[in-house]
Chain A
Amino acid sequence: MKIEPLGDSALIVRVAEDFANPNASLNAVLGALRHLEAAAIPGVIELAPAYTTIGVFFDPARIDPAAPDQSPFDALRTRIQNVLNASSFLNETELEARVVEIPVCYAGEFASDLGDVARVTGLAEAEVVRRHASAVYRVACVGFIAGFTFLSGLPPELATPRRATPRKEVPAGSVGIGGAQTGIYPRKSPGGWNLIGRTPLRLFDVKRESPAMLRAGDQVRFREISREEFESFSP
């Protein structure tokens, strides 16, 4: 584990070496995140997990130094090391991740790039859908735009390069494949991923206590739904 400064008011905790084993990395990050949250170190403002790291945002003026000449960064690094060394989470394999089911309609104009994905992967469209909807994914991070969910666990044979020209407008709820990742657009936005379906769920809503429906580390499954079922979700 390595702790590096990210400017003068943030730092990055590198929890896992790499993302070769997404489940192990995300479990380690999730475990470290929970311990850091529980420790509630004074001066720490918030934590932001992504893939193998946790960003820690803090107010240097509110970090208590252990010694008079210790810098806020050194003081906080020591505090974080103490919190994480004291816990044995890095060996825990069965960390219960939440499982969230996302209904997706893979038909019609919701799946405008399904044909391209089928052509690139050499699979029938129905087979692309079947494989996409039967895999189990993990949320690697939420970001880029508020609520955008990057999922790891895309079956490797479904990997498809991003579109040469990004769309100016991708509808909210669109499910896409971008390279080896799949993800969900929380709101209408520009985007370059191949669109293969759409969920009627609101992935991001400022009226909720936790505005993004999904959090880093969550397990995600897609359930194929019909057009009728999609429409029946409408508020």
Chain B
Amino acid sequence: MNVLVRSAGFLTSVQDLGRTGFRQSGVSIGGALDAHAMRVANALVGNEDTAAGLEATLGSLRLRFDDQRIVAWCGGAFCVRIGNENLPPGHAGLVASNEELVMTAPKDGSRAWLAISGGIDVPPVLGSRSTDLRGNFGGHEGRTLRDGDSLPLFEERRFPNRGPDKNGDLEIAAPWISEWSAPAPWATTAARDRFLRIVQGPDWRRFSTESQTALVGQSFTVTLDSDRMGARLDGPRLERIDPTDLLSEAVVPGTLQVPPNGKPILLLGDCQTIGGYPKIAHVITVDLPIAAQLWPGELVRFHEVSLAEAQGLLCEREDDFARFRIGLSL
């Protein structure tokens, strides 16, 4: 059974939690730019965390399903409809066979992650179903989706025990939208201030005190040449005081690196595995969902926290997610 892409929108790709284990070959982690959103959407439809879904950019997505499926999405302030019913973020909804799901352009934010019960059945490449758009492998033919693509779905065996299940009959009447939902901050990541918490990077001390102060005190604008590799920022010029030539070394999504022009680049999921520019700071992992919503023209500000606080917040979120999963299965 397949999902037919009636309209692929601006930039839609098959993504999962990303590709690990191949950094030594220079392979980026990639995957959903907001891996947490993908994971939450998967949990809502009863999938494993690692099931492949869709990452939509700026919406304008129309899908038609061959058979009935449970779907859920998280991300920016999009409007998603199943037939005539509104599917709010962080809720699960039933799509009947041959019914259409429509995602329109967002009022705020730029990306959304859609999970489909069963998951998208594209062959894993290097242990992941995500699309590596720079390497042109993985996902659906290693590329973004086009109008008319048809994506195979894994067979849907289970059916949710929460639906208005008529006498155990699998013919659940659509429309059905779940009453229950994921915590709002996980479901909607765009309505918040573009305020990102950072920890100091290995090269923090290579920058002038003025630059360190400017980084946390002033606003930066996301520029046009931003993509899934990174958000390029314009704002106060960040000046190095130590001109040492640096050897390339590991970088990671969240790294704020500063090329010689002094304009920082916030690396995102598709970033290269190594880089030679100084790393002034890193956006903390729990704030990467907000970074994944950034769009050219928007303002972003940074706020410094300690490493212990960043790691504490991440461990707390992982505990919360584990409890959320248990809650869903009860």
Interface, chain A (partner B; CB < 8 A): 4-10, 12, 19, 45-55, 57, 60-61, 71-73, 141-148, 150, 187, 204, 206, 210-212, 215-216
Contact = CB atoms under 8 A, between A and B. Distances in A.
Residues of B in contact with A, size category: 35 or more
Given A147-B26, A211-B27, A7 B249 contact: no
Given A6-B202, A7-B252, 14 more contacts: A6-B251, A6-B255, A7-B255, A12-B249, A19-B247, A48-B23, A49-B24, A50-B249, A52-B249, A142-B24, A143-B23, A143-B274, A145-B272, A187-B135
14 contacts: A5-B202, A6-B279, A7-B255, A9-B314, A12-B202, A12-B249, A12-B250, A48-B24, A55-B23, A71-B311, A71-B312, A142-B24, A204-B25, A211-B22
Most interface-central of A10, A73, A204 (chain B CB within 10 A): A10
Across the A-B interface, the 8 shortest Cβ-Cβ residue pairs: A55-B250, A7-B282, A212-B25, A143-B274, A8-B310, A61-B318, A143-B26, A48-B23
Interface of B: 20-28, 125-126, 132, 134-135, 137-138, 199, 201-202, 247-252, 254-255, 272-274, 279, 282-285, 307-308, 310-312, 314-315, 318-319
Which secondary structure dominates chain B's binding surface? mixed
B24 A71 contact: no
Nearest to B283: A7
Contacts, number: 143
Contact of A141 (B126, B202, B248): B248
Contacts of A48: 23-24, 250, 273-274
A206 B255 contact: no
A203 to B, nearest CB: 10
Nearest to B27: A146
Most interface-central of A12, A144, A146 (chain B CB within 10 A): A146
Contacts of A49: 24
A4 B199 CA distance: 12
Nearest to B312: A71
